[in-house]
Amino acid sequence: MKNRINTLFEQKQKDILSVYFTAGYPNLNDTVSIITELEKAGADLIEIGIPFSDPTADGPVIQQSSHLALVNGMNLNLLFNQLKNIRDKVSVPLILMGYFNPVYQFGVERFCNKCNETGIDGAILPDLPLWEFENNYQSFFEKNGIHNILLITPQTSDERILEIDNKTGGFIYMVSSSSTTGKNQKVEDFHQDYFNRVNSLGLKTPRLIGFGISDNQTFNKACENANGAIIGTAFINSFKNNIPLEKSITEFVKSVKNG
Amino acid sequence: MDYNVDEKGYYGEFGGAWIPEMMYANIEELRLRYLDIIHSEEFIEEFIHLLKNYVGRPSPLYFAKRLSEHYDTKIYLKREDLNHTGSHKLNNTVGQILLAQKLGKTRIIAETGAGQHGVATATVCALKGVQCVVYMGALDVERQAPNVKKMKMLGAEVIPVHSGNKTLKDATNEAMRDWINNPVHTHYIIGSVVGPHPYPDMVARFQAVISKELKVQLAEQTGNELPTRIIACVGGGSNAAGAFYHFLENKEVELIGVEAAGKGVDTDETAATLKVGSPGVLHSSKTMLMQNKDGQITEPYSISAGLDYPGIGPMHAHLFKSGRAKYLYATDKEVLEAALLLTQKEGIIPALESAHALAALNQLEFNENDVTVINLSGRGDKDMQTYLDYFGY
C-alpha cells in the first residue's frame, strides 16, 4: 500500500495542517477520539506523541503533557493496542513522534513492524541522528514502508539541508526558529531570511514548518513559506476541562484555518 | 582493546552524539574544532599557566599514614580537594572557558548537582568576564545552599529547576533546552564525562591532568609510577576518568570506580547505575541508564548531590563492560562513616562524593605493600550541614 504521507502531498501542496498531541493526555484513553475528531475537523496529518520522562527539546507545555501522560500510564505497548483498529476509523496519515529511548527499549525493528501493522505512515525521532539511522535502522523502516522524517533548523547549513532533502521520508520538518517547542512567537519573530534561503535551494521534498505555530496568523505565515505547518503546544493548550473534546478540537482547527 | 574514544565518538558500544538537529551545528563545530584548539600552542600555554597559578596544581599526592595503618597497607590521597574552589571540577572549566573563547562564545551555561561544577563554572566566568547561567535542581539549591551563594557572589545567575526530581538530571535537561534556544553565542560547559561526543572525551582530556601528575608523584614517592590500584567515586565519572586516563593501558593497575548506592542497591533509592541500569539513550549519549522497561528514566537517589544522576559517562560503561575497571558501590551510611574516619585519622574533611571512594576501602583486601591511590575529588565544606545533622555535633 502506498504511504499516505506521499498521497497527501500529491493531492495537496498548500495550507497543509499537521497537528501534534501527546498520547495519554489529557486522559489515558483519549487517543482514538482525538485522532478521529482531528480528522473530522480537517487536520491533514496527525502526529501522535510518545511521552518521555526527559523531553529535552520541549517547552513547559509538552513537558507537562508528557509527564501527565506517563502518570496516566501511557507506554508504547498500550499505544499500539489503542491504535489497533485505527484504520477502520480514519484515513488521515499518522505519524508517531517521540524521543529515541522508549523506541529503543521497545525494539526499533519491532516498532517498525508494529507501525506497519497498525497503519502508521512515519516516525519523527528527533534525537535519532541521521548517521545512526543509516547505519543501524534504515532497513527496518524501509522494509515496513515507514518514513523517517528529518528536521532542519535555522542553523542547518545549505549543504546539510540538501543532504536531508535526499534522505528524509515524506517531508522535511522545518523548525521555525532556534527554540524548544511552544515558544510564543509572533509573525514578526519568524526568520524570513531562513525561509527564503530554504526556498531558494530548489528542494524536491515538501516542507512543513513547526515550532511556534499557534494561531491563524502564524499558520498563514508558515503556509506562505512552505507546504503547510505543524501545531503542537497550542493544540494541547486548547484542551479545557469544561468543554467536550469534540467541540474544542473542532473549534481549534477552525480557528487555525480560518481565523 | 581500545579504551579511548573512536572517531564516531564511541567507547565500544557506548557514546555517540544522539542529538536533535537543533543542537547539530553547535556539536559539529565543537567536534571539528576541539582537538585542534586544545592542541594549539596558545591554548596549552594558557591552560598550563592557569592550572599552575590559578588552580594551584599540581595537587599534592599525600601519604595518609594513620589511615594506612588502619587498613594495614599504603594509602595515598590525590588531593583534588586542595584545588581552588575545592574540587577537581575546575580543571575542566578552565579548559572549557578557554575553548569557548576560542570559539567566540560570549555566554556560558552549565548544569550542577552539588554545586561544585556550578561554582567552578561561575569562577572561570568571573575570571574571564563572561556571562554565566547555572541550572540547578530546586532540591539541590536547598541542600547545597553555600554553593548557591558562592555562585551568586561570583556573578552567576542560578536558575532553580522544578521539573522531575529537581536534581542533576533535571538541571541537565534545562541546560540543554537553554542551548537549543540560544545556539549562536552560548557555550554549554558540561561538568562531567557525559553528554554527546565530543564532551566525554574533551572533559576526560581536561581531567587527565590528575593521572598525569599521579605518575610523576608516585615515581617520586614510591619509586614506581604504577600503583596497585586507583579508587575514585563515579556519578557521571569525571574525576574517575581523569584519575584513570593515563593508566588505562597499564593493565597491572587495578581501576576501581565507586557508585552511590544511596539507601541500598536493592531499594528504589539508589544511584548505582551500573548495578541496576541497562543500555539506553539519555542526554545525547548511549550509555548505561536507570530506567523502567518502557525506557522512561527512573529517579536516582543519593545523599550526595554530585552523584545523584541516573546515567554514567559512556567511557565508564565501556570500562565496566570490557572489565578493564571494576565498579563497586557504597551506601549513604557507609559513606558518612568513611568520611568521619578520614576526618579523624588525617584531619581532612572530604566531600560526600569523595567519601564514596573512601568507603570502598572496607570492601577490599590489601597486602601491606600494596599502593592504593584514592582520588580525593573534593572537600567537605559544602556538606557540613549533612555531617553535623548525622553525627549530631
Tell me what pLDDT residue B6 has. 95
Tell me what pLDDT residue B265 has. 96
Tell me what pLDDT residue B2 has. 83
Instruction: Check whether B44 has a pLDDT greater than 70.
Output: yes
Q: Do B281 and A100 touch (CB under 8 A)?
A: yes
Report the distance separating Cα B104 and Cα B106, nearest Å: 6
- Catalytic entry in A58, A88, A121, A189: A58
User: What is the nearest CA distance from B145 to chain A, expressed in angstroms?
Assistant: 26
Tell me what pLDDT residue A158 has. 98
CB < 8 Å to A175, chain B: 21-22
DSSP state, residue B362? G
Q: What rounded mean pLDDT belongs to chain B?
A: 97
B2 assigned to some structural domain: no
Does B227 lie in the same domain as B292? yes
CB < 8 Å to B25, chain A: 153, 155-157
Does B233 lie in the same domain as B360? yes
Closest residue on chain B to A52 (Cα): B296
Q: Does B10 reach chain A within 8 Å, measured CB to CB?
A: no
Instruction: Check whether B143 has a pLDDT greater than 90.
Output: no
Worst-scoring range by mean pLDDT, A49-58, A131-140, A182-191, A215-224? A182-191
Q: Is B337 a catalytic residue?
A: no
Q: What is the pLDDT of residues A143-197, one digit of tens each?
A: 999 999 999 999 999 999 999 999 999 999 999 988 899 887 788 888 899 999 9
Of B203, B218, B238, the residue that ends a domain is: B203
Nearest to B18 among A106, A129, A157 (CB): A129
B281 assigned to some structural domain: yes
B21 assigned to some structural domain: yes
Does B313 lie in the same domain as B265? yes
B4 assigned to some structural domain: no
- Residue A172 cell numbers, joined: 522535511
Q: What is the pLDDT of residues B311-358, one digit of tens each?
A: 999 999 999 999 999 999 999 999 999 999 999 999 999 999 999 999
Task: Quote the domain boundaries for residue A112.
Answer: 4-258
Q: What is the pLDDT of residues A35-81, one digit of tens each?
A: 999 999 999 999 999 999 999 999 999 999 999 999 999 999 999 99
Tell me what pLDDT residue B111 has. 97
Tell me what pLDDT residue B311 has. 97
Q: Do B22 and A54 touch (CB under 8 A)?
A: no
Task: Quote the domain boundaries for residue B24.
Answer: 11-50+89-203
User: What is the nearest CA distance from B210 to chain A, expressed in angstroms?
Assistant: 33
Looking at chain A, the number of H-run helices and the number of E-run strands are 13, 9
Instruction: Check whether B145 has a pLDDT greater than 70.
Output: yes
DSSP result, B197-214: TTHHHHHHHHHTHHHHHH
Q: Do B297 and A54 touch (CB under 8 A)?
A: yes
Tell me what pLDDT residue A183 has. 84
Question: Can you tell me the ipTM of this complex?
Answer: 0.95
CB < 8 Å to B176, chain A: 56
Q: What CATH number is associated with residue A15?
A: 3.20.20.70
* Total residues found in chain A within this entry: 259
Spatial CA neighbour of B22 closest among A116, A41, A127? A127
Residue showing cell 569523595: B354
Does B279 lie in the same domain as B263? yes
Tell me what pLDDT residue A45 has. 98
Q: Do A153 and B21 touch (CB under 8 A)?
A: yes
Tell me what pLDDT residue A207 has. 98
Nearest to B296 among A53, A104, A179 (CB): A53
Q: Do A53 and B26 touch (CB under 8 A)?
A: no
Give CA separation, B144 vs A249, B93, B169, in Å.
46, 20, 16
Tell me what pLDDT residue B72 has. 97
Helix (H, G, I), strand (E, B) or coil at B309: coil
B292 assigned to some structural domain: yes
Q: What CATH number is associated with residue B330?
A: 3.40.50.1100
Closest residue on chain A to B161 (Cα): A60
Tell me what pLDDT residue B1 has. 65
Q: Does B311 reach chain A within 8 Å, measured CB to CB?
A: no
Does B344 lie in the same domain as B238? yes
B294 assigned to some structural domain: yes
Does B281 lie in the same domain as B174? no
| Mean pLDDT, residues B141-161 | 95
Q: Do B180 and A178 touch (CB under 8 A)?
A: yes
Q: What is the pLDDT of residues B49-83, one digit of tens each?
A: 999 999 999 999 999 999 999 999 999 999 999 99
Query: Cβ(B324)–Cβ(B1) under 8 Å?
Result: yes
Give CA separation, B183 vs B22, B24, B106, B236, in Å.
8, 10, 11, 24
Instruction: Check whether A241 has a pLDDT greater than 80.
Output: no
Tell me what pLDDT residue A71 has. 97
Q: Is B65 a catalytic residue?
A: no
Of B186, B203, B220, the residue that ends a domain is: B203
Q: Do A155 and B26 touch (CB under 8 A)?
A: yes
Question: Which B positions 275-294 lie with beta carbon below 8 A of chain A?
Answer: 280-284, 289, 291, 293-294
Report the distance separating Cα B240 and Cα B326, nearest Å: 12
Domain count, chain A: 1
Domain count, chain B: 2
Q: Do A100 and B294 touch (CB under 8 A)?
A: no
Q: Do B280 and A103 touch (CB under 8 A)?
A: no
Of B179, B203, B227, the residue that ends a domain is: B203
Instruction: Check whether B287 has a pLDDT greater than 70.
Output: yes
Report the distance separating Cα A259 and Cα A252, nearest Å: 10
Does B39 lie in the same domain as B110? yes
Tell me what pLDDT residue B170 has. 94
Spatial CA neighbour of A132 closest among B285, B23, B18? B18
DSSP state, residue A227? S
Tell me what pLDDT residue A259 has. 83
Question: Is residue B136 within a helix (H) or strand (E), and if so which, with residue range?
Answer: strand B131-137
Q: Which amino acid is at A62?
A: I
CB < 8 Å to A77, chain B: 294
CB < 8 Å to B177, chain A: 56-59, 180
Nearest to A155 among B25, B177, B289 (CB): B25
| Mean pLDDT, residues B92-120 | 97
